[in-house]
Amino acid sequence: MSKAKWLIAALPGFKRQPLKKIDADAPSLLKLMQRWRDEAGQAGRTIKRIAVAYEAAGDGFWLARWLRAGDIEAYAIHPASVAVSREHRRVKTDSSTRSF
């Protein structure tokens, strides 16, 4: 979780897939989610549930508690548990891996 900017995406309930970068501020996040909920309502879609998932380490778990207090499902995922493709790993360049 960045301390400067957060990248927010909304998935179900929209014809488009909104993507927005906001300042790292919980009230701004709540305001954006409410705006998207209102847009979906105007389009004839009812949003019954909002779930948030994000990668958080260190002090990032406060946001999950804050969102849950506002009746929003929140899942803070530890970075070590996020699956990453090993296909594009960087090649080791130290001399111990060289064979002559």
Please give the single-letter amino acid code of residue 86.
R
Please give the single-letter amino acid code of residue 48.
K
Per-residue pLDDT of the chain (100 residues; tens, 9 = 90+): 567 888 888 766 566 677 888 888 888 888 988 888 888 888 888 888 888 888 877 777 888 888 899 888 998 888 777 777 777 666 666 665 555 5
Q: What is the pTM of this model?
A: 0.65
Tokens of 56: 């958080």
Burial class (CB in 10 A: 0-12, 13-18, 19+), 67: buried
SS3 36: helix
